Amino acid sequence: MHNVYEISPEIFWIGGNDRRIERFENMFPLPNGVAYNSYLILDDKTAIIDTVDSSISALYLENIKHVLGGRSLDYLIINHMEPDHCANIEEIARRYPGVKIVGNKKTFQFMEQYYSLDMSSNYLEVQEGSELNLGSHTLRFYLAPMVHWPEVMFTYEVQKGILFSADAFGSFGAMAGNLFADEVEYDNQFLDEARRYYANIVGRYGSQVQAVFRKLGNLPINMICSLHGLIWRGEDIAYIMGKYDLWSRYLPEKKGIVLVYASMYGNTENAMNALAAKLAQRGVKDMRMYDVSKTHPSYIISDIFKYSHIVLGSCTYNMNLYFPMDSLLREISVLGVKDRKVAVLGNHTWASAAVKCITELLGTMKGMELITAPLDIRSTLKAGQEEELNAVADAIYASLMESGEAQ
Ligand code: FEO
């Protein structure tokens, strides 16, 4: 049966949820599934804003049919051409052959790369600031390149102040009936997954997010409708914009420490546990510790966006860096994470490489400040090295007390 929701007069959510999917982009675990949002405006003219992933096509097409109630579809607006949103374009063009497909030059380039059906006679090309009048709803288009692909644009409904923001302000996690962020315990249920989504999917494009913020600066926005996750309205808009502002400037949300270790036989793990205990004894409260071989990097990266300090501990492997740690650091570098305070702990039995490799990789990132000289262990941390470990803990604690990041 159809499942739709009128989120504002004449504007309907017609999306759906997928809880069976294992991994987003075949890479990021989705323990709580994901939502694909799409919206239909019923005015003198009818318009859909973006489609959904192929996994929920059957429900989606039923939703469209139900809301249209026998009317034709006049416009299909494409804010984003990634397949988790564009998978139903061809089918809609077949069912509603008179539909005008609204996009920018890049939109149509990507459309032709993905599809073989010639839909060029349906194209309606728009530019920055173009407007489309549906009757009592006017839609204005703002280009938002690289949030998260180059063709991305935002659609702004002028009369109600509703921003259809493509991937921006979205989240991992399926929705359970409630569509608005103010209807759920957002911080408990969604915030970590929203951060993990941002950090891993949009994280590299912080400067482009900031550019769009500047462009939309004076626009009255009463509702934000993303392509994933909950809808924002009222005072919550400032809340999520505040988070995005921090994340896109790579500023930590909190003082705290993410400790990440790579350990084959538990000796590096033991050293990290000993260090964490010393930090706790000095009064540090907010710490997260991860085994890089066990936890998917997307969760670690999410916390690295959240916290001010990082401790990296790794054994040497094949006279190089232990591969999962190497992979994690390369990912962090590609995502453009910067300006964190870092401590490094290495371990080796017969050839020291971990410390050198970690510091080299940190050197590929901006503003990664080494708080103290790396501690390089030989196989196991000995009781006689306690003073060295105390010195590392003292340096991290002092840095944490000094730094002025938001609490
Ligand atoms: Fe949800 Fe960039 O696609």
Answer yes or no: is the C-beta of 87 below 6 A from any ligand 1 atom.
no
The per-residue pLDDT for range 159-193, each reduced to its tens digit, is 999 999 999 999 999 999 999 999 999 999 999 99
Distances in whole angstroms, Cα of residue 131 to Cα of each of 93, 154, 203: 22, 12, 30
Residues 6+ apart with CB under 8 A from 382: none
Q: Quick one: which of 405, 400, 402, 406 has its CA closest to 287?
A: 400
The per-residue pLDDT for range 12-40, each reduced to its tens digit, is 999 999 999 999 999 999 999 999 999 99
What's the CATH number for 254-399? 3.40.50.360
- Please name the residue whose Cα sits nearest to atom 3 of ligand 1: 82
Overall average pLDDT of the 239-249 stretch: 97
- What are the domain boundaries of the chain? 5-248, 254-399
Q: 85 CA distance to ligand 1 centroid (A)?
A: 7
Q: 286 CA distance to ligand 1 centroid (A)?
A: 32
C-alpha to C-alpha distance for 72 and 208, rounded to whole angstroms: 37
* Residue whose tokens read 């995005």: 244
Answer yes or no: is the C-beta of 288 below 6 A from any ligand 1 atom.
no
Q: 173 CA distance to ligand 1 centroid (A)?
A: 14
Overall average pLDDT of the 59-70 stretch: 98
Overall average pLDDT of the 83-103 stretch: 97
46: left (phi over 0), alpha (psi -120 to 50) or beta: beta
- CA dihedral (206, 212, 213, 215) in degrees, to 10, reads 150
The per-residue pLDDT for range 313-325, each reduced to its tens digit, is 999 999 999 999 9
The answer to whether the beta carbons of residues 311 and 258 sit under 8 Å apart is yes
Q: In which band, very low, low, confident or very high, does the pLDDT at 403 lie, cut at 50, 70 and 90?
A: low
Answer yes or no: is the C-beta of 84 below 6 A from any ligand 1 atom.
yes
Tokens of 62: 């039923």
Q: 233 CA distance to ligand 1 centroid (A)?
A: 21
Q: 86 CA distance to ligand 1 centroid (A)?
A: 9
CA 53 to chain centre: 18
Answer yes or no: is the C-beta of 85 below 6 A from any ligand 1 atom.
yes
Overall average pLDDT of the 271-278 stretch: 98
Do the domains 5-248 and 254-399 sit in the same CATH topology, yes or no?
Answer: no
Q: What is the pLDDT of residue 405?
A: 46
Q: What is the pLDDT of residue 404?
A: 56
Q: What is the pLDDT of residue 407?
A: 40
What's the CATH number for 5-248? 3.60.15.10
C-alpha to C-alpha distance for 103 and 68, rounded to whole angstroms: 22
The answer to whether the beta carbons of residues 312 and 347 sit under 8 Å apart is no
The per-residue pLDDT for range 366-379, each reduced to its tens digit, is 999 999 999 999 99
Question: Does position 406 have pLDDT exceeding 70, yes or no?
Answer: no
Tokens of 176: 């359970």
Burial class (CB in 10 A: 0-12, 13-18, 19+), 15: buried
Predicted TM-score (pTM) of this structure:
0.96
